[in-house]
Structure 1
Amino acid sequence: MEDGGALERIAAALERLAPVAAPPTDWLALPDIGGMGERARTVPVLDALPLEALHGIEAQKVGLRNLCARLASGAAAHDALLWGARGMGKSALVRACVADVQRETQNLALVQLAPGTLPTFPALIAELAGVSRAFLLFIDDLGFGAEARAEMLALRSLLEGGIAPRPPHIRLVVTANRRGIVERQDTSGAIHERDERDDALALADRFGLSLGFHPADKDTYLAILGAYLAPLGLGFDAEEAMAFAIQRGNRSGRTALQFATELAGRAGKRL
């Protein structure tokens, strides 16, 4: 009896130590999925600014919002590459466009892929293939250079397709801070640099929609700042605003938002 009791205690301890199997993902129930690694993580409310709160990127807003609407409706849609200057709203635009379309239909979900998960793409796409919902797979801040070459080649392979085609209700949106990703005129440099550039160009060519984001000039930066502050009834000193940008090393929508946050905080207001 004592031996039997010991075995029962051991069995109970092993049950407590054994990990509980995760339930299967309900892709129709999830509004959005973030940080996709080994398993999906629900994001009940997408962290997104209203589209009208993003300034200085009007053409980019129209292009990506149209793509999201087409994908949600079941129409043909491109994969999208958002490239260029940091801080000009690439990631914010992805979230804002998806959230804006979701106000009209829940047939679109955003799935953000965690770094290093590209090898799991085929399995994820196979799982999503049979789901009657549109999915925008989001890769934020794609890296370049020798250390990221394997990931770039894996993404190229995915975009090119294989024996089994990628379903039309699954599309990718990728952001990259490398400003010259689609520039072709420079053929100088060391062999490895040319190889990296060629890899980037070959990847860029596989996106049907390519949207460039460029550094803001002084007038655009101040206009973005003014657009953030006007609803609060706040003004600003242009010289102070420019000094703030110089201190941070760039004029961008992000810098304008940071300075607007500073001024709103001084005034005791929420932005």
Structure 2
Amino acid sequence: MSRNMNQDLNYYHLIHQEIASLVLYQSIFDDEVGQAFLEVFDLISVRNKELIDIKCLKAYGHWLRNLAFQGISWQDYLIKKILMDDNPFSQQVQQVSLEDLPKPLIEATEHDLSILKSLYKLPLEAISQWVKEAANLPFSPFVGQCENKNNTFLHQQDNWENCLDPLAQHYRQHGTGIFAQYKALKWYNNQLIGITEADPITLTEIVGYESQKETLIKNTEILLSGYNALNVLLYGSRGSGKSSLVKGLLNEYYSQGLRLVEVNKSQLSDLPMIVDQLRYIPQKFIIFVDDLSFEEDNDAFKSLKVVLEGNVTAKAKNVVVYATSNRRHLIREYFDDRPRPKDADEIHHWDTVQEKLSFSDRFGLTLTFEPANQDTYLNIVHHLASQIELKMDKNELGFRAKQWATQHNGRSGRTARQFIDFLEGELKLNK
């Protein structure tokens, strides 16, 4: 073995030892790309000078394949994982200043960043050569990767241990872990999971209910400022844009730390558990419940009531509930529910009825979305058409929009959106 190869192998052993010595950022290697990388390094260290080791070669190919699936370079992968990593430093620096963090935590962070910078600078040609030697191959394995696409502050710095200030600012703005990776989440199997493709609708697409929109925006900005925001019930006719307005808020304020957690009606009994998980996260959260109503006074009703009104546990200041409903009274009332002389079982039966009917009053704000009249409907249509630069005479557009509403689902924001989507496709097909 040549002198240069001995130097290469010494460098390999040093890198391998440094990876094992990571203190805070070990979870960077928890996913498929990271695990494949570690497997390559583990197999390189197992050398047989007489046999060709196919395992090492396959592990190397598996690592490159996982990078290719993500369409990402090894350097971009490392930085992406660092910027999202959930560890004691990234958690605590969102709550306190760098100067107030324990010195050992700062030193551990600098130690890990120095090692990760070495991995960042590690050329794939070197890894390919190590695999060749470890597997006793007569050729060098394939070397190739995607180009670096990002240009963050870490890409631009030679010494990452000197980047604690911008790294801390990044964690404060974007969060860590699942809250950095996703803007919208949902509750599934007693845990929060990310929604990969959140609805991209923006506030500028929503017209026709300006006062309701303004009030909801103001309440959301109060939440983001750390003050006591109100829980909101968005009540009104179907298709009026209630859900779209909430999702538009997310896209408007995501960069300011807003996140959305979607909770189904069937999961409302888990609501106190969800709030407890979010309580100490630095980001601000809208718990979004769509199409809310109850058949009876059940556990879901009681759980939502606890979150809206509070109990012995203090209210989480970083969490609000935004719920939509087509019903003003959220709990269905039947004629059989009303007290009659034979109802001797409960003396104050009317109190129970009023408890059910007044449940919506427990929301701090109730925003009403009335059915769209013709002027409102046409205003929405023309607004959506202008956003996509639809080329059509204004009078013809209005005539066709009224026809569409008559033949389909009536006048509403949803109907306007469906009409514009169909019309855009039709015009493009006829070109």
State the TM-score bracket (shorter-chain normalisation).
0.7 to 0.9
Is the radius of gyration larger for structure 1 or structure 2?
2
Tell me the amino acid that sits aligned with residue 34 of structure 1. L
1:168 is displaced (CA, Å) by 1.0
| Gaps in structure 1 of 5+ consecutive residues | 1-22, 183-187
Tell me the amino acid that sits aligned with residue 29 of structure 1. A
- Number of the residue aligned with 2:303: 154
What percentage of residue pairs aligned between the two structures are identical?
Answer: 30
**2:364 counterpart (204, 208, 211):** 208
1:159 is displaced (CA, Å) by 1.2
SS at 1:88's partner residue?
coil
State how far apart, in whole Å, the 1-side matches of 2:181 and 2:274 are. 15
SS at 1:40's partner residue?
strand
Closer, same or farther: CA 89–29 of 1 in aligned 2, 3 Å: same
For this pair of structures, how many residues does the alignment match? 238
- Number of the residue aligned with 1:226: 382
- Number of the residue aligned with 1:86: 238
Q: Deviations over 1:56-109 (max 9, x none)?
A: 111121111112222122122111111110000011000101211124x1x221
The higher relative CO (CA closer than 8 Å, separation ≥ 6) is in: 1
**2:221 counterpart (47, 69, 72):** 69
- Number of the residue aligned with 2:427: 267
- Number of the residue aligned with 1:168: 317
SS at 1:144's partner residue?
coil
CA contact 2:183–2:254 (8 Å) conserved in 1 = no
1:29 is displaced (CA, Å) by 2.4
Counting only pairs closer than 5 Å after superposition, residues 1-271 of structure 1 correspond to structure 2 as: 26=177, 28-38=179-189, 39-44=191-196, 46-103=198-255, 105=256, 107-146=257-296, 149-178=298-327, 180-181=328-329, 190-192=335-337, 198-199=354-355, 201-230=357-386, 231-235=389-393, 236-268=396-428
Q: Which stretch of structure 1 is more off in the superposition, 151-160 or 201-210?
A: 151-160
Closer, same or farther: CA 225–197 of 1 in aligned 2, 3 Å: farther
State how far apart, in whole Å, the 2-side matches of 1:121 and 1:142 are. 14
State how far apart, in whole Å, the 2-side matches of 1:198 and 1:161 are. 20
Q: Deviations over 1:89-134 (max 9, x none)?
A: 011000101211124x1x2211111331112122222222222221
CA contact 2:272–2:303 (8 Å) conserved in 1 = no
1:237 is displaced (CA, Å) by 4.3
Tell me the amino acid that sits aligned with residue 204 of structure 1. S
SS at 1:232's partner residue?
coil
CA contact 1:181–1:197 (8 Å) conserved in 2 = no
Tell me the amino acid that sits aligned with residue 32 of structure 1. K
Q: Deviations over 1:186-225 (max 9, x none)?
A: xx97242798974554221111121111110011111111
**4+ residue segments displaced more than 3 Å:** 23-28, 193-201, 235-240
Structure with the larger helix share: 2
SS at 2:260's partner residue?
strand
Tell me the amino acid that sits aligned with residue 250 of structure 2. V
Closer, same or farther: CA 158–55 of 1 in aligned 2, 3 Å: same
CA contact 2:290–2:323 (8 Å) conserved in 1 = yes
State how far apart, in whole Å, the 1-side matches of 2:338 and 2:404 are. 35
